[in-house]
């Protein structure tokens, strides 16, 4: 009897210790992003975590992880080995071809223009396209306007980029545009970029201020040219099976969290845009204002003719002239 009593008391102590913990853990939902915690992606993922956990009263335990290979992240979401991911649309067009139109260079004038389109029915319709590819496009996010950087050779005008090896995202639209400008586009995942710059496999790359800042690219590149040649959208995606398994109430929680996440993301982009160039100069980067942006546009012109065929000249015109 004494033995039995002992067995029961041990069992109840074990249960007492384990149970609340298991309960507090909630159902694990992993979301990945490709940058530092202190970045426009990091703060967005943390906000998503905070809001899901608060609104669900810890029914869900959101785990934020860093995964610099954005293509792999989307693949994992599609396959269901992770629930959600947020990041640039760079490689996403390879999964959802319709969204490639958003990556066309010189399409958006400024942030207000891009956000206006993404937040409209045009953006909603494009998010709908993710379903056929096993994902839910939750919300449009933002990576920022991309700028060219180089390591050794200084670029004075777009004709100087001819023959240069520039890393691009694994994005056909970007590759085509740079090719038209005479560049040898070298596509690779974001995860491979720092070592490619370090080893000099490429002469330069292009990314928005928030990415250059958070990735400390000032240590890898000497020159920054404020080309703003293309707006780089972002997107928060979740797996379709995961999504279909949620109750309507929980879906609403995740949607609200996604919206809060966009807010955090955009206000961080704004902050980086305000102080980032000054900070990069302070860190020693040679920053060049670009007064001849049209010359870059001109250099990419033959590609734009192709994009008009691919996406429809009228579609591009509507997007360009959006007010
Ligand atoms: O999402 O691959 C890129 O250059 C992206 O801009 C970066 O991953 C940030």
Give, for all 323 residues of the chain, the pLDDT tens digit: 666 666 666 656 555 555 555 555 899 999 999 999 999 999 999 999 999 999 999 999 999 999 999 999 999 999 999 999 999 999 999 999 999 999 999 999 999 999 999 999 999 999 999 999 999 999 999 999 999 999 999 999 999 999 999 999 999 999 999 999 999 999 999 999 999 999 999 999 999 999 999 999 999 999 999 999 999 999 999 999 999 999 999 999 999 999 999 999 999 999 999 999 999 999 999 999 999 999 999 999 999 999 999 999 999 999 999 99
Q: Which atom of ligand 1 is nearest to the CA of 169?
A: 2
Q: Which atom of ligand 1 is nearest to the CA of 167?
A: 4
Mutate to test the pocket of ligand 1, among 66, 73, 143 (most ligand atoms within 8 A of CB): 143
**Rounded to the nearest whole angstrom, what is the distance from the C-alpha of residue 263 to the centroid of ligand 1?**
19
Determine which residue's CA is closest to atom 3 belonging to ligand 1.
Answer: 190
Question: 36 vs 213, 214, 319, CA distance in Å?
Answer: 10, 6, 32
**63 dihedral zone (left: phi>0; alpha: psi -120 to 50; beta):** beta
**For residue 6, what are its two tokens?**
């002992």
pLDDT score at 25: 81
Residues 148, 141: Cα–Cα separation, whole Å: 21
- State if residue 169 touches ligand 1 by the CB under 6 angstroms criterion: yes
Residues 66, 15: Cα–Cα separation, whole Å: 34
Question: 117 vs 126, 146, 223, 320, CA distance in Å?
Answer: 11, 18, 32, 10
Mutate to test the pocket of ligand 1, among 32, 34, 66 (most ligand atoms within 8 A of CB): 34
Helix pair 172-180, 301-311: axis angle to 10 deg: 140
Determine which residue's CA is closest to atom 6 belonging to ligand 1.
Answer: 207
- State if residue 90 touches ligand 1 by the CB under 6 angstroms criterion: yes
Residues 284, 167: Cα–Cα separation, whole Å: 22
**For residue 135, what are its two tokens?**
């994902």
- State if residue 232 touches ligand 1 by the CB under 6 angstroms criterion: yes
pLDDT score at 147: 98
Determine which residue's CA is closest to atom 8 belonging to ligand 1.
Answer: 190
**Rounded to the nearest whole angstrom, what is the distance from the C-alpha of residue 13 to the centroid of ligand 1?**
49
ipTM surpasses 0.90 = yes
**Rounded to the nearest whole angstrom, what is the distance from the C-alpha of residue 90 to the centroid of ligand 1?**
7
- State if residue 215 touches ligand 1 by the CB under 6 angstroms criterion: no
Confirm if 181 and 307 have CB atoms less than 8 A apart: no
**Residue 152 CB: number of other CB atoms within 10 A?**
10
With CA atoms as reference, report the closest residue to 164 among 156, 176, 173, 155: 155
Determine which residue's CA is closest to atom 1 belonging to ligand 1.
Answer: 88
- State if residue 87 touches ligand 1 by the CB under 6 angstroms criterion: yes
- State if residue 70 touches ligand 1 by the CB under 6 angstroms criterion: yes
**Rounded to the nearest whole angstrom, what is the distance from the C-alpha of residue 197 to the centroid of ligand 1?**
14
């Amino acid at each position: 009897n004494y033995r039995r009593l002992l067995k029961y008391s041990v069992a109840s102590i074990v249960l007492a210790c384990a149970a609340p913990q298991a309960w507090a853990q909630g159902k694990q939902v992993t979301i990945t992003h490709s940058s530092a915690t202190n970045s426009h992606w990091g703060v967005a993922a943390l906000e998503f975590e905070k809001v899901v956990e608060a609104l669900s009263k810890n029914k869900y335990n959101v785990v934020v992880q860093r995964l610099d290979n954005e293509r792999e992240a989307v693949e994992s979401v599609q396959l269901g080995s992770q629930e959600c991911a947020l990041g640039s649309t760079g490689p996403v067009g390879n999964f959802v071809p319709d969204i490639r139109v958003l990556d066309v260079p010189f399409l958006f004038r400024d942030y207000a223009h891009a956000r206006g389109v993404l937040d409209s029915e045009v953006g909603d319709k494009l998010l709908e396209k993710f379903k056929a590819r096993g994902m839910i496009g939750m919300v449009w996010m933002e990576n920022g306007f991309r700028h060219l950087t180089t390591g050794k050779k200084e670029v004075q005008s777009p004709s100087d980029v001819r023959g240069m090896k520039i890393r691009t995202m694994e994005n056909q639209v970007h590759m085509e545009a740079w090719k038209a400008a005479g560049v040898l586009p070298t596509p690779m995942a974001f995860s491979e970029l720092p070592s490619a710059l370090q080893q000099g496999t490429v002469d330069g790359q292009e990314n928005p201020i928030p990415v250059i800042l958070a990735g400390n690219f000032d240590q890898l590149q000497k020159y920054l040219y404020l080309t703003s040649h293309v707006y780089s959208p972002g997107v928060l995606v979740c797996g379709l099976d995961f999504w279909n398994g949620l109750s309507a109430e929980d879906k609403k929680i995740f949607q609200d969290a996604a919206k809060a996440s966009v807010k955090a993301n955009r206000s961080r982009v704004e902050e980086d845009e305000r102080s980032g160039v000054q900070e990069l100069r302070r860190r020693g980067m040679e920053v060049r204002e670009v007064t001849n942006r049209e010359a870059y546009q001109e250099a990419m012109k033959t590609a734009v003719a192709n994009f008009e065929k691919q996406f429809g000249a009228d579609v591009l015109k509507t997007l360009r002239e959006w007010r």
